[in-house]
Amino acid sequence: MRRPNHRRRIQTARMQNQTSRQAVFSIRRFGLFKKASELYSLCSADVSIVVYSPRNKLYSFWHPFSKSIVERFVEEDLTPGTNDPNPIIIALQNANINRNVNTLERELAKDNLSFSGLKNLCEALEAADEEVERVVSQLLEADES
């Protein structure tokens, strides 16, 4: 006979169905962020969570403010006695880089520029800058003589 308040142990395994996995991720992410908010409210703890979805989308929760938490985290030496970089700090840096790349891609899409178009534009600007420097140096040499 089973006790009324007895909780059964649930076997955890990766879900094979992509749609179900995304739905469960969304529900669990909401619950995780809610618990983090409660932890801050009840204990005044500084909380930060970074989560990547199965579709590789970044979600984060920061309280009270991300910059202060990250700076404090980065300043601490979490791997004393080793020269190896902290993998958590590397993950934070990569997340920041990914966020910057995504922002740049959105801005390029607004201006109807592709990455190769932007690269060509940069090369043209560099060539124009070199030409301006050449003309300026010629004008300065002509002034001196």
Total-model pTM? 0.45
Tokens matching residue 144: 């001196």
Mean pLDDT by 10 residues, the chain (145 residues): 68 84 88 89 84 81 70 61 64 68 73 75 82 79 70
pLDDT in tens, 86-96: 666 666 666 66
Task: Parse the chain into domains and list their residue ranges.
Answer: 18-112, 120-145
Torsional sign, CA 136, 137, 140, 141: negative
Location of structure tokens 């909780």: 7
Cα 74 to Cα 53, 63, 90, 93, 103: the distances in Å are 24, 17, 10, 10, 24
- Closest to 48 (Cα-Cα) out of 30, 62, 65: 62
Is domain 18-112 classified as CATH 3.40.1810.10? yes
